[in-house]
Chain A
């Protein structure tokens, strides 16, 4: 085909180039960059999508912490300001968001993500720019292995998987367990592997190991295969949306074995989706709202006052992550990345809502876990398991 520059085509081209210029001009407008009287902290979370409550709870926790810190004068005489971006629950969006926070908003430190898959997408970027990053609740070990600027304030999957395996063996006295893991999710695969290892070592048997991919809504074929092996419990270390659906479909197939899981279950939505079917199931978590210690109860009442609901574990983790960061920045000799990094690494016996936080050499927090039982719409405390 030959391109003939007719008059109308030329006119179109002119219009097009004007439009393009406008777009470029508009998008390159400067965003307000950090002013001297404040410290900008970036947050990346899943505010929408299948794990929306992870992002919103964590964000609420962080907001509460920042409000409290600013009320007593901030850090080094500067107020904290949070810039939070939604990644819609997608790792690629999380990577884009963290790049934007670092290059455009010039953040001093980063908080996030909840899900390990997304923290794993963010960590190499934060490491590359040498910006300290604290993930409140990504439990996959690989996250902090991405570099010496990546920290977490929660326990890791080898421990969490062990907790549930021990609980199944010792408290529930189970011998035959089935596994239903989310193969698209680093967190879920990790938990399933560590659970299997400990459970087998303790004399238990994994009767069948099935899988699904996050985002699916039909689990009947996997559950039918599991039902054929008659397990005493099913370990489902996924996120709440899928777990709720799995619980319902298991009940529809009249599987009465309880489900076991990890902190990915922790959402008020779990009960809404799973309804009655999720009752009688157990999961490991970072904290229990039934904990009577004064700092936990104080946090719960303040949180309720601010947001009108009881905080879930992820809200508590977000709160602790922000507090640990502020604590480190206060101790650091200056607000240079390196000083903040060193101060976070030196965190010792910080008493948070989710327990005493000490950062170890691998930049992980060493903490105990609690096991909760889903019972008629509330998460009942069962036991605490120490590392």
Chain B
């Protein structure tokens, strides 16, 4: 087996991992764009998405009849659930603090994150659960010796479709225009008659439902799910968002794919020991040398 084949295989693995990071990173970046808040509870929304998907597909016994539609239904349910969760989190945890210093909101975000992690342990139990196979694993595609399994293709395609939908919402709809306006200047947008609270709610719901979708897709390719599973992918997606320039939607996707590939190649060619450290090494480097990220725009901050 050639070295080239191995390289391409790593490339495919890295892309499918990056696609999942991207879905999570989008939620981070959207919320940051609009509120300048790092929503640390976002990784937990991702975890809830995976559990919602698992309970849904178990309830309808979709594991026994794997099909494309089973996956779509599960995705839809999970996204809806997470959308509601995002709405609730924003309404009860962040909205009351809209006028308080940013650090208060940040600490609240950490609190919400821990609250969800440990409620998850109480509710679901702390032992790992296994995500049912709701689409046929199949043999996937082979190009010579390179194998792309069906799951990886499905994950990448669905991620792309969701990102395209998001892009359309942001740039082609009234809601998107309102979101961009609020992110540009919250007070001015409010003066122009934009219902800012409503727009912020929608942004949270949108970001959270993407995290829900990421949860289901993650469950498909890495079937072990547990209440603490959200913290590490959450932090990594946050790094991806910073890498791409926090607040920049396209940047988040590029950052996430870069991170997925970097992890894959590090493990495949160098050493798996530093896999989880890599993301944070990148974070430190970015903050030192290009704090605005790859595509970020420097905002002048008025003091």
Known: A48-B127, A88-B126, A211-B273. A220 touches B13 (CB 8 A): yes
Q: Which of B5, B6, B9, B127 contacts A50 (CB 8 A)?
A: B127
Give the docked Cα–Cα distance between A222 and B266 (Å).
Answer: 10
A346 within 8 A of partner (CB): no
The residue from B126, B149, B222, B269 contacting A225, defined by CB atoms under 8 A apart:
B269
Least CB distance, B96 to chain A, in whole angstroms = 20
Residues of A within 8 A of B221 (CB): 218
Nearest residue (CB) in B for A272 is: B130
B58 within 8 A of A: no
Query: Within the complex, what minimum Cβ distance (angstroms) separates B160 from chain A?
Result: 20
A280: Cβ under 8 A from any B Cβ: no
Whether A48 touches B222, Cβ cut-off 8 Å, given contacts A183-B273, A222-B267, A224-B9, is no
CA gap between A211 and B270 in the complex, in Å: 11
A75 sits at the interface (CB 8 A): no
Whether the pair B264, A221 counts as a contact (CB closer than 8 A) is: yes
Number of A-B contacts (CB under 8 A): 80
Per-residue A-contact encoding for B260-299, CB less than 8 Å = 1, 0 else: 0001110111011101100000000000000000000000
Question: In the complex the two chains form, is B272's CB within 8 Å of A253's CB?
Answer: no
Measured between C-beta atoms, what is the minimum distance from B46 to chain A in Å?
Answer: 14
Smallest Cβ distance from B229 to chain A, in angstroms? Answer: 8
Of residues 209 through 251 on chain A, the ones whose CB sits less than 8 Å from some CB of chain B are 210-213, 216-218, 220-222, 224-225, 227-228, 230, 241, 245, 248
Q: Which residues of A contact B198 (CB under 8 A)?
A: none
Shortest CB distance B19–A (Å): 13
Closest to B263 in A: A221
- Size bracket, chain A contacts: 20 to 34
Is A254 an interface residue when CB atoms closer than 8 A count as contact? yes
Measured in the bound complex, the distance between the Cα atoms of B222 and A216 in whole Å is 9
Instruction: Note all chain B residues with C-beta closer than 8 A to A48.
Output: 125-127
| Interface: B161 (CB within 8 A) | no
Q: Which A residues are in CB contact (< 8 Å) with B264? A: 220-221
Q: Is B179 an interface residue (CB 8 A)?
A: no
Structural contact, B268 and A224, CB atoms closer than 8 A: yes
Interface residue count on the B side (C-beta < 8 Å) = 36
Q: Are B1 and A49 in contact (CB under 8 A)?
A: no
In the assembled complex, the CB of A228 is this many whole angstroms from the nearest CB of chain B, namely: 4
**A221-B267, A252-B151 as given contacts; A273 in contact with B224, CB under 8 Å:** yes
Known: A218-B17, A272-B130, A273-B130. A212 touches B224 (CB 8 A): no
Given known A224-B6, A248-B223, A273-B224, contact A230–B1 (CB-CB < 8 A): yes
Known: A48-B125, A241-B128, A248-B223. A228 touches B272 (CB 8 A): no
Any chain B CB within 8 A of the CB of A52?
Answer: yes
Quick one: CB contact mask for B114-157 with A, threshold 8 Å, 1 for yes? 00000000000111101000000101100000010101000000
Q: Which residues of B contact A221 (CB under 8 A)?
A: 10, 13-14, 263-265, 267-268, 272
Q: How far is the CA of A216 from the CA of B128 in the complex (A)?
A: 12
Interface residues as binary, B180-197 with A (CB distance below 8 Å gives 1, 0 otherwise): 000000000000000000
A interface footprint on B1-40 (CB within 8 Å = 1, 0 otherwise): 1010110011001100100000000000000000000000
Instruction: Report the minimal beta-carbon distance from A215 to chain B, rounded to whole angstroms.
Output: 9
A245 touches B137 (CB 8 A): no
Q: A217-B224, A221-B272 are in contact. Are A228 and B130 (CB under 8 A)?
A: no
Using known A-B contacts A217-B222, A218-B17, A272-B130, determine if residue A252 contacts B137 with beta carbons closer than 8 Å: yes
A4 CA / B287 CA spacing, docked (Å): 39
Q: Which residues of A contact B271 (CB under 8 A)?
A: 211
Q: Would B126 and A224 count as touching, CB distance under 8 A?
A: no
Assembly CA distance A213 to B274 (angstroms): 10
- Asked whether B126 lies within 8 Å of A211 as measured between CB atoms, the reply is no
Chain A residues with CB under 8 Å of B147's CB are: 252-254
Given A88-B126, A227-B1, do A212 and B272 touch, yes or no (CB 8 Å)? yes
CB contacts under 8 Å to B, within A252-305, are 252-254, 272-273
Separation in Å of the A114 CB from the closest CB of chain B? 15
Q: Which residues of B contact A212 (CB under 8 A)?
A: 272
How distant is B43 from chain A, measured CB to nearest CB, in Å?
Answer: 15
Q: How far is the CB of A158 from chain B (nearest CB, A)?
A: 25
A222 and B151 form a contact (CB under 8 A): no
Closest to A51 in B: B127
Complex-state Cα separation, A210 to B273, whole angstroms: 10
- Residue numbers in A under 8 Å from B268 (CB-CB): 221-222, 224-225
Closest to B225 in A: A217
Interface residues of B in 204-243 (CB under 8 A from A): 221-224, 226
Contacts A222-B267, A225-B6, A252-B151: A211 and B272 contacting too (C-beta < 8 A)? yes
Report 10 cross-chain contacts, Cβ distance below 8 Å, ordered by A residue.
A49-B126, A49-B128, A183-B273, A218-B221, A221-B13, A225-B269, A230-B1, A245-B222, A245-B223, A273-B130
Give the 10 A-B CB pairs with smallest separation, nearest first: A217-B222, A221-B267, A221-B268, A52-B127, A228-B6, A220-B13, A48-B126, A217-B224, A252-B149, A224-B9
User: Which residues of B are at the interface with A, using a C-beta cutoff of 8 A?
Assistant: 1, 3, 5-6, 9-10, 13-14, 17, 125-128, 130, 137, 139-140, 147, 149, 151, 221-224, 226, 263-265, 267-269, 271-273, 275-276
A binding-site residues for B, Cβ under 8 Å: 48-50, 52, 88, 183, 210-213, 216-218, 220-222, 224-225, 227-228, 230, 241, 245, 248, 252-254, 272-273
